[in-house]
Amino acid sequence: KAGVTQTPRYLIKTRGQQVTLSCSPISGHRSVSWYQQTPGQGLQFLFEYFSETQRNKGNFPGRFSGRQFSNSRSEMNVSTLELGDSALYLCASSLANYNEQFFGPGTRLTVL
């Protein structure tokens, strides 16, 4: 069974731009969660989508948004990028009623 895939793997943007990251969950998984990983703040929960609806949200500004499609694939968007948004963005998928979350390799975003 294929794992969680994320594209692109690396991104370089400049301040003020926006970016869209993509995540394809494990086949059959309906929940997709996004996390931000930085050396200073560690792993922090951004939001979770289940059946195209945002089910949970972390403490991030409104510049961070996401969505989920009918095939469970998910995208997250960051608008008006700031230097502090440089991070590894991780996507994790899980089955509907279980909490075992399986992570993808992440997208490394660098904001210059």
Partner 1 sequence: GENVEQHPSTLSVQEGDSAVIKCTYSDSASNYFPWYKQELGKGPQLIIDIRSNVGEKKDQRIAVTLNKTAKHFSLHITETQPEDSAVYFCAATPLGGGGNKLTFGTGTQLKVEL
The residues of the shown chain that bind partner 1, judged by CB under 8 A, are 4, 31, 33, 35, 42-45, 48, 50, 55-56, 58, 90, 92, 94, 97, 99-106
Q: How many helices (H) and strands (E) does the chain have?
A: 0, 11
- CA pseudo-torsion sign 16, 45, 9, 93: negative
Q: Which is nearer to partner 1, 73 or 79 (CB)?
A: 73
Q: Which is nearer to partner 1, 19 or 106 (CB)?
A: 106
Q: Are 73 and 105 in contact (CB under 8 A)?
A: no
The three-class DSSP label of residue 70 is: coil
Shortest separation between residue 80's beta carbon and partner 1, angstroms: 25
Shortest separation between residue 10's beta carbon and partner 1, angstroms: 11
Shortest separation between residue 4's beta carbon and partner 1, angstroms: 8
Q: How far apart are CA 43 and CA 46, in angstroms?
A: 10
